[in-house]
């Protein structure tokens, strides 16, 4: 989803900085954007590291002069029960999914303030709104943390022109969902549970992120945008 978001932002004229621990994939996306006329910089970013975030924001300002938008997109998911979740797995998921959003937001806010305001978009999940049996409960907990953190940050910084919103994707066709996509039975069940009867595309999430990042959503903050084919409306 992050790659789709970066490409769409670049198509709309944004200068984009993308960060990941996956160097090859990140540089590939960087090249694809630059080769099609966009402007993109890849930086190595461990979202659970405060120093890594500081370096990424510094590289952004050095290259482009200011920061207007932050999209906290990194996330991991695993499947299993509460009982078979180790403390190490709990910490790993919370570090990336929840702490990463906190650190990104904290590090970006001073630069957004300098720019006169801006938009932060946090990628949560329908798992932050409902309980599920097919993923670890800590994943739901991490995405629920993103949801309520977003609302609190939105209230705290609204007076400074900084908007903070969350996006909650349902089943999306991404590498994270390969276990389901590769299992015909699981995929049929997922489609049967979706009012629209299909899996979403990364680009369909990207358009929602673009809206929340743009001035078209200037009166929207502290909100959660469900992009789930109607799943949570049931």
- Please give the class, per CATH, of domain 65-233: alpha beta
Query: Which tops the pLDDT comparison, 230 or 188?
Result: 230
Spatial separation of the C-alpha atoms in residues 102 and 122, rounded to whole Å: 10
Find out whether 201 and 113 touch, Cβ atoms under 8 Å.
no
Question: Contact at 8 Å (CB) between 134 and 179?
Answer: no
User: What are the boundaries of each domain within the chain?
Assistant: 65-233
Question: pTM for the complete prediction?
Answer: 0.94
What pLDDT shows up at residue 11?
Answer: 97
For residues 88-103, give the mean pLDDT.
98
32, with CB counted inside 10 A (0-12, 13-18, 19+), is middle
Report pLDDT for 18: 98
- Confidence check: pLDDT of 188 > 90: no
Judged against a pLDDT cut of 90, whether residue 2 lies above it is answered with yes
pLDDT (0 to 100) of residue 177:
67
Chain segment 134-159, per-residue pLDDT in tens: 899 999 999 999 999 999 999 999 99
Q: Catalytic residue at 90?
A: no
Rounded to the nearest integer, the mean pLDDT of the chain is 95
pLDDT given for residue 191 in this prediction = 83
CA nearest neighbour of 111 among 150, 70, 75: 70
Which pLDDT band holds residue 124 (cuts at 50, 70, 90)? very high
User: Is pLDDT at 33 greater than 90 in this prediction?
Assistant: yes
Q: Which residues of 143-168 are buried (b: 16+ CB within 10 A; e: fewer)?
A: bbbbbebbbebbeebeeeebbbbbbb
Percent over 90 (pLDDT), the chain: 88
Q: Between these two residues, 191 and 58, which has the higher pLDDT value?
A: 58
């Amino acid at each position: 989803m992050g790659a789709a978001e970066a490409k769409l932002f670049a198509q709309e004229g944004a200068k984009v900085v993308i960060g990941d621990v996956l160097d090859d994939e990140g540089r590939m996306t960087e090249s694809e954007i630059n080769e099609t006329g966009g402007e993109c910089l890849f930086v190595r970013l461990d979202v659970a590291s405060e120093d890594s975030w500081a370096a990424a924001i510094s590289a952004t300002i050095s290259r482009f002069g200011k920061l207007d938008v932050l999209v906290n997109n990194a996330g991991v998911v695993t499947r299993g029960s509460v009982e078979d979740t180790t403390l190490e797995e709990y910490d790993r998921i919370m570090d990336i999914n929840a702490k990463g959003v906190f650190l990104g937001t904290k590090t970006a806010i001073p630069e957004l303030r300098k720019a006169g305001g801006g938009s932060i978009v946090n990628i949560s999940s329908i798992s932050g709104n409902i309980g599920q049996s097919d993923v670890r409960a800590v994943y739901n907990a991490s995405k629920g943390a993103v949801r309520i953190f977003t609302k609190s940050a939105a209230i705290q910084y609204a007076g400074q022109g900084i908007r903070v919103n969350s996006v909650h994707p349902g089943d999306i066709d991404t590498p994270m969902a390969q276990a389901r996509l590769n299992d015909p039975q699981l995929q049929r069940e997922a489609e049967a549970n979706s009012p629209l009867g299909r899996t979403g595309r990364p680009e369909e999430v990207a358009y929602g992120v673009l809206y929340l990042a743009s001035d078209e959503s200037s009166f929207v903050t502290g909100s959660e945008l469900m992009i789930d084919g109607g799943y949570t409306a049931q």
